[in-house]
Chains A and B, each alone.
Chain A
Amino acid sequence: MMNTTLHAFNARAAARGGPDATGSVLAGHDELVRHLGRVFDGLWLAPLAGPVMAGPAGVIAGRQPLPPINVWEDDEAVMVEAELPGFKLSDLEITWEDRLLTIRGRRGDEADTTDGKGRYLRRERMVGEFSRSLRIAEEIDPDQVRATLNDGVLTVRLAKAPSVRPRTIAITTGA
């Protein structure tokens, strides 16, 4: 379901030309958010109707699909996981600002690194730059945002602020 939606979104973004690699990523981002709101009439936001997230959005240069993202939460943290095979730490930039988690990255063309002489017979893998942003409505401790990259899987752990974590209330007997 989400995949179908995502592809539809990308197809539309591509049809519109999409933002170019050197253009303002944020401007394109805002435009796409407005566009999404119109086109899908809130459909995208439907699975995110819970308290945590306001909605995902992103842009990519080169008309390629965005890397997919999964998000879940437990009592202590909101977890954001992205499949980013072939990305190294130096290829990624992760920022947390004003409740907005942004993951940017770039993956090069394999033909560049192979020997320069190969030609593609089939090509499915994403190449180029991407930027995805997630607005997290939950109160997050900004000093406790941690990212790890293992075997092409990026995991960002956003610890919830102590004030919003569930706590057990001790019951005392009244006098």
Chain B
Amino acid sequence: MTCCNSNTNDPASTRGLPSGEASNCVCVTDGSRPAAERPSFMPSHDVLRGPDGLTVIADMPGVKRTDLEITAEGGVLSIVGRVAPRGGRDGAEPDYLLREYGVGDYRVAFKLPAEVDADRIAATLTDGVLRVTLPTRAELTRRRIAVTN
């Protein structure tokens, strides 16, 4: 997992979801800042292309369904998962003997390819794994341009 707000502050940066064969992936935050000083992280994720569209699978351990916010607006898919503090008493940070990961919110945003049908985007969250299906519409994938003289 990569911490994404430590040095990327460009509000315009989003991950490009591959359109067609090209994979124009750029690293990333969704630009909005976390409310508190807690760190936020970009979840490890896979992107799959199937016959009916794209699927994004993201590891977001510790996120409950009610703490997940997914929006598709202006051609950008934004995913925010809030994680409750855990570890010490009363939410205080414990004295770590070994610390291999930080606990914080998850944030990632993707630029949606034009062929994705935003109205049919669906998401499920199971055991800390988010799965977002992005169906594509054939008529949006290929367009015949008439040539006039």
Q: Is the CB–CB distance between A70 and B87 below 8 Å?
A: yes
Tell me the count of chain A residues lying within 8 A, CB to CB, of chain B.
44
Residues of B within 8 A of A175 (CB): none
Shortest beta-carbon distance from A10 to chain B in Å: 12
Interface string of A121-136 (1 = CB under 8 A from B): 1111110000000100
Which residues of B62-118 have CB atoms within 8 Å of chain A's CB atoms? 62-64, 86-89, 94-101, 103
Shortest beta-carbon distance from A156 to chain B in Å: 13
Shortest beta-carbon distance from B53 to chain A in Å: 10
Which residues of A116-166 have CB atoms within 8 Å of chain B's CB atoms? 117-126, 134, 149, 151-153
B4 interface residue (CB < 8 Å to A): no
In the complex, what distance in Å separates the CA atom of A81 from the CA atom of B61?
A: 11
Taking CB as reference atom, which chain B residue is nearest A87? B127
Interface string of A89-105 (1 = CB under 8 A from B): 00000000000000000
Tell me the count of chain B residues lying within 8 A, CB to CB, of chain A.
38
B11 interface residue (CB < 8 Å to A): no
Which residues of A33-73 have CB atoms within 8 Å of chain B's CB atoms? 47-48, 50, 52-53, 56, 68-73
With A121-B49, A152-B61 known to touch, is A72 a contact of B128 (CB < 8 Å)?
Answer: no
Count CB-based A-B contacts (< 8 Å): 131
With A47-B97, A48-B98, A122-B47 known to touch, is A85 a contact of B128 (CB < 8 Å)?
Answer: yes
Which of A53, A70, A73, A125 is the one whose CB lies under 8 Å from B46? A125
Shortest beta-carbon distance from A108 to chain B in Å: 12
Q: Is the CB–CB distance between A74 and B59 below 8 Å?
A: no
With A56-B98, A74-B89 known to touch, is A151 a contact of B128 (CB < 8 Å)?
Answer: yes
Interface string of B29-55 (1 = CB under 8 A from A): 000000000000000111111110011
24 contacts between A and B (CB under 8 A): A2-B100, A70-B99, A70-B101, A72-B88, A72-B95, A73-B94, A73-B95, A79-B94, A85-B127, A85-B128, A86-B127, A86-B128, A114-B48, A115-B50, A117-B51, A118-B48, A118-B49, A124-B46, A126-B44, A151-B64, A151-B127, A152-B60, A152-B61, A153-B86
Interface residues of B (CB under 8 A from A): 1, 18, 23, 25, 44-51, 54-55, 57, 59-64, 86-89, 94-101, 103, 126-129
